C-alpha cells in the first residue's frame, strides 16, 4: 500500500474509532443528585458541577445534575427530586464541618464513599465541602474547581470497583500542591484504564445487571498506612 493510501486508511480508522467512542459515551449517562448541607453559593456550586461534568465527559460519561439545598438541621430548603432512580442515580452530600467531623474526625479528610456488599452497586458519597474550602484558601485558590474535583473523586469511587486510589491523577488519595495545581488547570483527570472501567460499570448499571464486571486494575495503589491499615477516606496534607 502506498504511503498516501496508508495515511488515508489510518485517518479513516481514527475518525471511525473517535465517532464510535463518542456514540458509546453519548449513551452512558448518570444522574448525580447533590444534597447541599454546607450552604454553598449556588453560582459556585454550578461551576463545580460543570467542572466535574467535563472530567466525567472526558472519561466517556454524560451527567445530569439535580440539586437539593438543606439546612444544617436537615430540613429541605428547596424542592428535591425523588431518590428512587435506581443505581444510575448517585447521591453526593456536601457537608459542613459540624456534620463532617461525625463521619471523619481528621480534618485532612475531604470526603468518603459508602461501600456496599460484594456485587452490588454503591450510590452514596460525602464531600466535606467546608474542608475543601479551607484547602482552597490555603493558597488563595478559587473553590469551584477543587470542589468539582472532590465531587468527581468520590463519584470515581462509586464507579470503580475495589481500591481505586492511585498515586497520581484524580483518584490520588493524598492531595498536595501538584494535585491542586492540576485541578485548577483542568488536567486532574482519570486514566484511560479508569475511564474504561467506569464505562463498563455504568453500562452494567443501565442494563440492570446484578453483578458488576471485574476488570484487572493494574495501576499502582497507595501503600497501607502505619499499622497496616489501608487508606479508605481521602486526605489532604495537614496545614503547616
| Lowest mean pLDDT, pick from 1-10, 96-105, 209-218 | 1-10
pLDDT digits (tens, 9 = 90+) for 92-105: 999 999 999 999 98
| Lowest mean pLDDT, pick from 23-27, 83-87, 110-114 | 23-27
**Quick check: pTM over 0.85?**
no
Q: Estimate the crossing angle of helix 177-185 against helix 143-159, to 10 degrees.
A: 100
Q: What is the chain's mean pLDDT, rounded?
A: 80
pLDDT digits (tens, 9 = 90+) for 29-48: 999 999 999 999 999 999 99
Whether the predicted pLDDT of 211 surpasses 90: no
Give pLDDT, residue 83: 66
Give pLDDT, residue 70: 86
Which domains, and CATH codes, for the chain?
A: 29-235 (3.40.390.30)
More confidently predicted of 56 and 220: 56
Whether the predicted pLDDT of 131 surpasses 50: yes
Amino acid at each position: 500500500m502506498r504511503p498516501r493510501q496508508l495515511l488515508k486508511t489510518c485517518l479513516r480508522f481514527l475518525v471511525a474509532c473517535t465517532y464510535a467512542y463518542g456514540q458509546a459515551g453519548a449513551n452512558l449517562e448518570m444522574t448525580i443528585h447533590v444534597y447541599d448541607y454546607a450552604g454553598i453559593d449556588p453560582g459556585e456550586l454550578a461551576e463545580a458541577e460543570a467542572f466535574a461534568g467535563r472530567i466525567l465527559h472526558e472519561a466517556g460519561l454524560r451527567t445530569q445534575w439535580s440539586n437539593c439545598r438543606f439546612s444544617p438541621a436537615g430540613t429541605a430548603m428547596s424542592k428535591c427530586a425523588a431518590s428512587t432512580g435506581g443505581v444510575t442515580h448517585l447521591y453526593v452530600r456536601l457537608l459542613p464541618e459540624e456534620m463532617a467531623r461525625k463521619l471523619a474526625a481528621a480534618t485532612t479528610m475531604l470526603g468518603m464513599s459508602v461501600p456496599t456488599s460484594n456485587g452490588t452497586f454503591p450510590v452514596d458519597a460525602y464531600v466535606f465541602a467546608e474542608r475543601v474550602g479551607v484547602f482552597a484558601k490555603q493558597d488563595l485558590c478559587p473553590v469551584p474547581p477543587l470542589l468539582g474535583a472532590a465531587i468527581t473523586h468520590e463519584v470515581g469511587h462509586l464507579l470503580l470497583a475495589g481500591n481505586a486510589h492511585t498515586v497520581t491523577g484524580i483518584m490520588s488519595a493524598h492531595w498536595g500542591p501538584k494535585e491542586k495545581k492540576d485541578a485548577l488547570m483542568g488536567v486532574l483527570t482519570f486514566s484511560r484504564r479508569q475511564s474504561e472501567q467506569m464505562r463498563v460499570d455504568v453500562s452494567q448499571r443501565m442494563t440492570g445487571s446484578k453483578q458488576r464486571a471485574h476488570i484487572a486494575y493494574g495501576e499502582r495503589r497507595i501503600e497501607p498506612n502505619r499499622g497496616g491499615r489501608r487508606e479508605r477516606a481521602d486526605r489532604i496534607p495537614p496545614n503547616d
